[in-house]
A and B are shown apart, each in its own frame.
Chain A
Amino acid sequence: MSSQEAVQLEERLEDTGTLSLTRTEAEGLFDHRARKLVGMSGKDALKRIRAGKCGSNLAWEELSVFSALLK
């Protein structure tokens, strides 16, 4: 999923109040937010979160809660 598509999802979320995502969209949106919040890919960020090595600053905390969306 491209960055532009992820931005469109974010816009749709704010317009409608609810988003229902496919797996590709969920992973794409997580990747988009990870790059924005902590400056790394979604895959790398998820590895750190699941390993308990992501620190406890606010950006990581926000991303950690969002990561629970992914199985």
Chain B
Amino acid sequence: MQGTSPEEVFSKFKDHLNDLLHHTITKASLLQIVYGNRAFLEFRLGQTSTAVIVGKGYHLFLSQALEAEKIKVRRYKLRTLAYAYRIGSGPNREDKWLIRWEYQPSEGVFRALHPRHHCHLPTELTFGRRILNLDRLHIASGWVTIEEVIRFLIQELKVKPQSADWDFRLRASEAKFREWTERVV
């Protein structure tokens, strides 16, 4: 990603993500905190993290931590350090939720042993003689992009998209994500 500093790169990324959200599922905007070559994105209201309404009674909670690594003059590679996405029934963490996708690193100083990319479901599953609590289990999920969460909301949960070309925008955004992060997902 082109930029003269991590701050400029993060600003461009925030604008890109907000533009994507505004043309797909919500007019709400993400706020950004930058510290050195790291940044954090979230929706906030009343000095607390919040989920925003996306339609049909569904709310989206989104937070991401990013790092910008300088690879050339005026060129940075973005790295996602952690993310949390949650689809719920209201803006607060006390509200009922349908699914959570999360990623936390397990390398470096982090010592957690559960699957790094995982999801949670607010239910129990009887499996033979066992009762599995899917709320507490870290169910391996693979990398989940925000574009895929948006796609799930529109296509599967029937949230009305903000624009007719939502699919094109998601595909274009995924291509940019691959370019900026040098990832294959």
Contact = CB atoms under 8 A, between A and B. Distances in A.
Given A50-B109, A62-B63, A21 B84 contact: no
B33 A29 contact: yes
B77 interface: no
**Size category, B interface:** 35 or more
A-B pairs, top 9 by smallest CB distance, nearest first, are: A52-B112, A68-B65, A68-B81, A58-B93, A26-B35, A52-B111, A68-B82, A65-B82, A10-B47
Interface residues of A, number: 32
Interface of A: 7, 10-11, 13-14, 17-23, 25-26, 29, 36, 49-52, 56, 58-59, 61-62, 64-66, 68-71
> How would you classify the secondary structure of chain B's contact residues: helix, strand, loop or mixed?
strand
Nearest to B39: A69
B32 A17 contact: yes
A71 B45 CA distance: 26
B63 A23 contact: no
